[in-house]
Amino acid sequence: MSMLDIKGLNVWFGRARDRVDAVKSATFTVAQGESFGLVGESGSGKSTILRAITGLAPTWSGKIHVEDQPIPARRPKSFYKTVQMVFQDPYASLHPRHSVDQVLGETLHLHGFKDIDNRVVKLLDDVGLGQKFRFRYPHQLSGGQRQRVAIARALAPEPKLLLLDEPTSALDVSVQAEILNLLADLRQMHDLTYVMVSHDLSVVGHMCDRLAVMKDGEIVEIMDVSALQRMEATHPYAQHLLQASV
């Protein structure tokens, strides 16, 4: 079964002469349990696709299906129990005056969970932090620790689909591998489906099964990661991207 179906997705900003078409006729499918990458240069439309899926990009057309169900323009609360997103900058995505306990506890409460104390502890254990971080604030955490909290928050509603928007690009190189390995472990542990945006082909090669290459808002090629690792691409831009990554 497919977890995510995108057909003819267009996303734009502004009106009339000020209109900018950020995504043009994007079409791809992500199977349940798959990890799918979106790669391309800055401004190619990768993150905009994730924002359209979650409802953060309000002007779009086309079809978005999650678990074979069409997604309406106004996302129902149940949508966010199935789909969650991890953002690029973990400091900006966490409330500076909310402790880790508040961040996770309020998310759990919002989604109707009981036994919140035990669930907070379990979430912190799952992301490799533990109880000692429970009552700390974002400014008391390193970048990697903040991103672990952001991942725990995304896991709190027990989603099936996780959208990852450059989840390691704001982190030190020494921490990036730790977070990627954590995400790989969590995918197996919770049977998650990933859609990961990255400009780093080595990250996509490590994390994903397939990938779509984007240029100027369009998907120009979809390939298996095995083709990426063999440096085999058919579209000239995809070939250029692969060669530039060597």
Give the total number of structural domains in the chain.
Answer: 1
CA distance 213 to 194: 16
Beta bridge partners of 32: none
Q: Domain range spanning residue 92? A: 2-245
CA distance 215 to 142: 34
Each residue of 13-50: pLDDT tens digit?
999 899 999 999 999 999 999 999 999 998 899 999 99
Over range 109-132, report the average pLDDT: 96
Each residue of 173-190: pLDDT tens digit?
889 999 999 999 999 999
Q: Tokens 């409330």 sit at which residue?
A: 95
Is 148 a residue whose pLDDT tops 80?
Answer: yes
CA distance 38 to 163: 11
Each residue of 188-224: pLDDT tens digit?
999 999 999 998 899 999 999 999 999 999 999 999 9
Give the β-pairing of 35-39 and 210-215. parallel
Residues 27 and 10: beta-carbon distance below 8 Å: no
Which backbone phi and psi does 22 adopt, to 5 degrees? -85, -30
* Percent of residues, the chain, with pLDDT higher than 70: 100
Over range 221-238, report the average pLDDT: 93
Question: Looking at residue 46, which CATH number applies to its domain?
Answer: 3.40.50.300
Q: Pull the structure tokens for residue 111.
A: 């989604």
Beta bridge partners of 39: 198, 213
Identify the DSSP state of 234.
S
Is 171 a residue whose pLDDT tops 80?
Answer: yes
Lowest mean pLDDT among 62-66, 118-122, 230-234: 230-234
Identify the DSSP state of 142.
-
CA distance 154 to 164: 10
Q: Give pLDDT, residue 122.
A: 97
Q: Give pLDDT, residue 195.
A: 98
Each residue of 190-199: pLDDT tens digit?
999 999 999 8
